């Protein structure tokens, strides 16, 4: 297949491209190396991809429709749209930029798909769309979406834009709601990576709230399995699908698990709850199992062991 991956130099995207190239697919990576975190990390993520003749990188901003039209060819079989401005808290500080990239940029990608007759479109949505919904575990058909951050609202918008294009133009659109993805190459600003670095440096970690918030942590290999399932899905034209681990871990339990995996005792301090953060995420993944044959293989302990091994290797510890 000829696959376009937007945001392919990032954490999830680079792992997906690893898999696609190993399976013999042709991959075009669209990435603008946004300055949200160190560009050199993303360059390192994709270093091995240039060994493949089937790989092309185009440094393009998804807001630039004219350049996108030139970078994406008519023979593309599927678009996997991962590119976005990420993070709940930064979106509160700069909501307009999040709207421009995550909504207008997604519209551009759907327009490219329409104009070039690309019939398979996989969209990276987020568990944050559920917001304050108290009905856990969260199911895709629960109509109670209560997003509480600009980031979350942009992901809801992306899902709805996909429904429009699916209905009008017969584009198969699969919105994958990712639940707190972690693993090797995880962004340095995310909790597990940030905590381990601070612990390794002998510094305090700050837990916001009383440590009782809960997340459904999903290992990167499981997420990539789910995306591959969506790439190959050929039935209905529009689906929204949770990709999670189907278990929820308390923040204090997470810290204990990192301590166990790393052998380092955390120095903890507590701060105020952060605006836009939800109390709990928890995925019902039965839909993913039925539609994509998805099953999460990594428990939090197994996933953290792999993450710590990668972290120590990269940092020479």
Residue holding tokens 């381990």? Answer: 196
Q: Measured between alpha carbons, how far is 72 from 4 in angstroms, rounded to an integer?
A: 7
* Residue 239 β-bridge partners: 174
Residue 312, domain member (yes or no) = no
Burial letters 78-112, b for 16+ CB under 10 A, else e: bbbbbbbbbbbebbbeeeeebbebbbebbbbbbeb
Query: Which residue, 222, 107, 143, is CA-closest to 176?
Result: 222
Q: Measured between alpha carbons, how far is 256 from 65 in angstroms, rounded to an integer?
A: 46
Residue 15, domain member (yes or no) = yes
* Residue 271 β-bridge partners: 208
Tallying the residues shown for the chain, one arrives at 317
The percent of the chain in helix, strand and coil, each rounded to the nearest 5, is 45, 20, 35
pLDDT at 265: 97
pLDDT at 263: 97
* Residue 58 β-bridge partners: 30
Residue 274, domain member (yes or no) = no
Question: Count of domains in the chain?
Answer: 1
Neighbours of 290 (CB within 10 A): 10
The predicted-structure confidence for 137-147, as pLDDT tens digits, reads as follows: 999 998 778 89
Question: What sign results for the dihedral spanned by CA atoms 125, 208, 303, 300?
Answer: negative
Q: Measured between alpha carbons, how far is 296 from 246 in angstroms, rounded to an integer?
A: 8
Residue holding tokens 């612990």? Answer: 199
**The two structure tokens encoding residue 242:** 């949770």
Q: Does the annotation mark 233 as catalytic?
A: no
* CATH (domain of 120): 3.40.50.720
pLDDT at 294: 98
Q: Measured between alpha carbons, how far is 173 from 241 in angstroms, rounded to an integer?
A: 11
Residue 45, domain member (yes or no) = yes
Q: How far is residue 51 from each of residues 27, 47, 48, 55, measured CA to CA in Å?
A: 12, 8, 6, 8
Residue 117 buriedness (CB in 10 A; 0-12 / 13-18 / 19+): exposed
Model-level pTM?
0.96
CB 138 within 8 A of CB 281: yes
Name every residue whose Cβ is closer than 8 Å to that of residue 225 and which is 6 or more positions away in sequence: 294, 297
**The two structure tokens encoding residue 58:** 């185009």
Full domain range(s) for residue 17: 2-181+218-244+283-296
Catalytic pick from 55, 98, 130, 151?
151
Residue 288, domain member (yes or no) = yes
**Phi-psi region at 298: left, alpha or beta (left = phi > 0; alpha = psi -120 to 50):** beta
pLDDT at 142: 84
* Regions in the chain scoring below 50 on pLDDT: none
Residue 315, domain member (yes or no) = no
Residue 191, domain member (yes or no) = no
Residue 24, domain member (yes or no) = yes
pLDDT at 165: 98
Which parts of 170-250 fold into alpha helices (H)? 191-200, 220-231
Name every residue whose Cβ is closer than 8 Å to that of residue 133 and which is 6 or more positions away in sequence: 142, 144, 145, 146
Report which secondary-structure segment, H or E, holds 241.
Answer: strand 238-243
The predicted-structure confidence for 223-260, as pLDDT tens digits, reads as follows: 999 999 999 999 999 999 999 998 999 999 999 999 99
Query: Which residue, 253, 240, 254, 245, is CA-closest to 287?
Result: 240
């Amino acid at each position: 297949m000829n696959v376009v991956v937007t945001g392919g130099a990032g954490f999830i995207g680079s792992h997906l491209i690893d898999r696609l190239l190993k399976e013999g697919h042709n991959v075009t990576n669209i990435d603008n190396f946004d300055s949200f975190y160190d560009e050199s990390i993303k360059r390192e993520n994709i270093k091995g991809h240039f060994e493949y003749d089937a790989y092309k990188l185009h440094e393009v901003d998804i807001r630039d429709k004219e350049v996108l039209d030139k970078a994406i060819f008519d023979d593309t079989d599927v678009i996997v749209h991962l590119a976005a401005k990420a993070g709940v808290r930064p979106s509160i500080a700069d909501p307009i930029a999040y709207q421009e990239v995550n909504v207008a940029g997604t519209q551009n990608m759907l327009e490219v798909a329409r104009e070039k007759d690309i019939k398979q479109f996989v969209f990276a949505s987020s568990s944050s769309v559920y917001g304050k919904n108290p009905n856990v575990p969260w199911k895709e058909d629960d109509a109670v979406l209560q997003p509480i951050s600009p980031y979350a609202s942009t992901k809801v918008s992306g899902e709805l834009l996909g429904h429009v294009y699916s209905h009008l133009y017969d584009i198969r659109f699969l919105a994958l709601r990712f639940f707190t993805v972690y693993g090797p190459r995880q962004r340095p600003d995310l909790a597990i990576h940030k905590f381990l670095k601070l612990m390794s440096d002998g510094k305090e970690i700050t837990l916001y709230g009383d440590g009782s918030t809960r997340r459904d942590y999903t290992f990167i290999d499981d997420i990539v399995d789910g995306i591959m399932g969506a790439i190959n899905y050929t039935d209905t034209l529009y689906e929204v699908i949770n990709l999670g681990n189907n278990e929820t871990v308390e923040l204090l339990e997470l810290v204990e698990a990192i301590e166990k995996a790393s052998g380092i005792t955390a120095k903890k301090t507590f701060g105020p709850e952060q605006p836009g953060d939800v109390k709990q995420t928890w995925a019902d993944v039965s839909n993913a199992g039925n539609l994509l044959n998805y099953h999460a293989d990594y428990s939090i302990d197994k996933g953290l062991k792999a993450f710590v091994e990668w972290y120590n290797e990269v940092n020479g510890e």
